[in-house]
Amino acid sequence: MTLFGVTDVHIQHGSLVLLFLVPLLINIGILFIVLITLPNNRTNSSFLIFVFLLILWQLSDGIMRICPTEQAAIPWARISEAIILFVTPFALLFGLRFARWHKKVNPALLFVGLFLMPVLFLLGISVHDNGFTLLKSEYWNWVVNPKHTDFIYALYGWIALHGFVCMLLFGFIYFKKRKDPQTATPALLFALGFTMPTIGGIVCQVIGPLLFHTDDIPVTALLVTIFSALSLVAITKYQLLDYSPRHQWKNLVSLTSEGILIVNREDRIMYANECFCQLSGYTYKELEGKPASGILPDRPKIKMDREESVKAGNNPYDKKEIQLITKGGQKMWTLFSGSPYLDSKGNQIGCMGIYTNIEALKTTEKLLEVKVQELNLFFYKASHDLKAPAASIKGLVSLYKISRDPLSEVIINAIEQSANKLIETTDRLSQIAIISERVPEHREISWMNMIDTILEKIYEGQDCCSCKSVIKMTGPFYSDSYLMDLIFRIALVNAFTYRKDSREECKVHVNVVQEISGVSIRIADNGCGIPEELRRNIFTLFCRGEGRSGIGLGLYTLKLAVDKLGGQVSLNSEPGRGTELHVKIPFDGTPSPY
């Protein structure tokens, strides 16, 4: 009979036909399973091509065995030899993708390394048409008798090497991934499936004919049955190549509690999951093809922000809070996070967004803002209500001191100290409330005037105090004058208050230096310093200096002011040697409009 118009074949070896037909049918079954049931990705595609080449190789090898004459069998032997050149490279490619190691190699180098030699050997086979002869065999009908040439040695050696590397690769994957049964068990099955045909083929079809001049025993094609059977077990029982969410896409997006929306490059809706439809109140048919800006009015602004982010080198897909207009016309707050939507070639064809309903969160946020405003109002009013009687007490104490009654001097001093502390506390509470609500107004800072005004007040009643100020500014600096004054006032008062001894001279150094990003302020003193255990929490609420009568709000208030200006504050101190406060305020560059 004529087969494919190539040669005459005659089926007369029934058992021989079965030996080659069984693995062929198994591999055809595997091919259809992969095509129909498994997701379409590059790993599965490489396995698919590998199995397809196995089928072609087994088919050509089987036809060669049942040909009635040597002349009819030789073309099929040459076809079989050409196909086997590409079987092992695709097996290696599948193994690398299966283990996810292909990403460690440059794709171009990987392609050249796997397929350059097969192409060269294929050209060599077309030139060396006398590289082998066929011998008549009682059981195998025809067996290949390779000639002892350098080309044949290289060809058979290369095929044997690749088969051996495939066997080692899957064995290595098993040992590397043995703690992951999803990968390890199929890898073990593949390793076992490759071991038998590889060792059998090397011994019976390479070493024997080339080194010991024995007849070729075509066991490789038969032993591939073991590989085919184990592959079928790996695919059906252990879900080989099925560990991918792609074919579960519809289930995943339907089960998620987030709204998913996909738009094309023209901003028209191409897909919306059930959750997004529930959020918006529309059906998918009502949304499909409609402009996304119709229900998401913030999208044009998001697109502009994204372009600016790209120009600035930032992530253009940061999370944003945007409003969704529902079918009923209500505005709903959502948290949007997006990513580019790519086609199979990696080209961007749209954008995919995930929308989370944060309406309840926004409501809570508004309530919290109201409560914060109420708390700030309480601080502000309470500070004034407390400050008034404290000021009255202090005034009465001053009047009483005029009489100079020595019997009541100690009691009056104690009352005055308590009144002063109460006034200081109310001042700090008032400042905290003001900082919380204040929107910074940037005005040019007059450094020396500000520092001199603060020092003038501090020097009243102070002995042995000195302050050296160094201002190094190359131009005007704009910031909030109230907050800057508060920062310097608290820092300088602390520097003069926490001195070693009232009889020892207190020296304070102020350095203001303009930098590229802003201004650096350092205020150093030779005071008593701060122990390490206190330094950890020095900027927290009600943290007091050891053995001091402070109220624990000074540095906390200072840090609030620095944070409000977007700056940073740090403190270095050593007990007995003094303290240095370092404040960095960013450069705004422009004054606020009057």
The 10s digit of each residue's pLDDT in 85-111 is 888 888 888 878 877 776 777 878 888
pTM for the full model? 0.43
Q: Please give the mean pLDDT across all residues of the chain.
A: 78
pLDDT band at 314 (very low <50, low <70, confident <90, very high): low
pLDDT band at 512 (very low <50, low <70, confident <90, very high): very high
Q: In this predicted structure, what is the pLDDT of residue 316?
A: 60
pLDDT band at 3 (very low <50, low <70, confident <90, very high): very low
Q: In this predicted structure, what is the pLDDT of residue 488?
A: 94
Cα separation, 304 vs 300, in Å, equals 6
Cα separation, 511 vs 530, in Å, equals 21
Reduce the DSSP state of residue 514 to 3 states and report it: strand
For 243-294, write each residue's pLDDT tens digit. 444 445 666 666 677 888 888 888 888 888 888 999 999 998 899 888 888 8
Q: In this predicted structure, what is the pLDDT of residue 50?
A: 84
Q: Which of 233-247, 403-417, 489-503 is modeled with the greatest confidence?
A: 489-503
Alpha carbon separation from 55 to 62, 87, 143, 383 (Å, rounded): 10, 10, 20, 89
Q: In this predicted structure, what is the pLDDT of residue 345?
A: 67
Q: In this predicted structure, what is the pLDDT of residue 4?
A: 42
For 52-81, write each residue's pLDDT tens digit. 888 888 888 888 878 888 888 888 888 888
Q: In this predicted structure, what is the pLDDT of residue 449?
A: 92
What is the rounded average pLDDT of the residues 445-454? Answer: 92
CA dihedral 221, 223, 229, 230 (to 10 degrees): -120
Q: In this predicted structure, what is the pLDDT of residue 2?
A: 43
Cα separation, 592 vs 71, in Å, equals 97
Q: In this predicted structure, what is the pLDDT of residue 243?
A: 46
Residue 519 has pLDDT above 70, yes or no: yes
Residue 44 has pLDDT above 80, yes or no: no
Alpha carbon separation from 182 to 175, 193, 494 (Å, rounded): 13, 18, 65
Cα separation, 134 vs 11, in Å, equals 18
Q: In this predicted structure, what is the pLDDT of residue 511?
A: 94
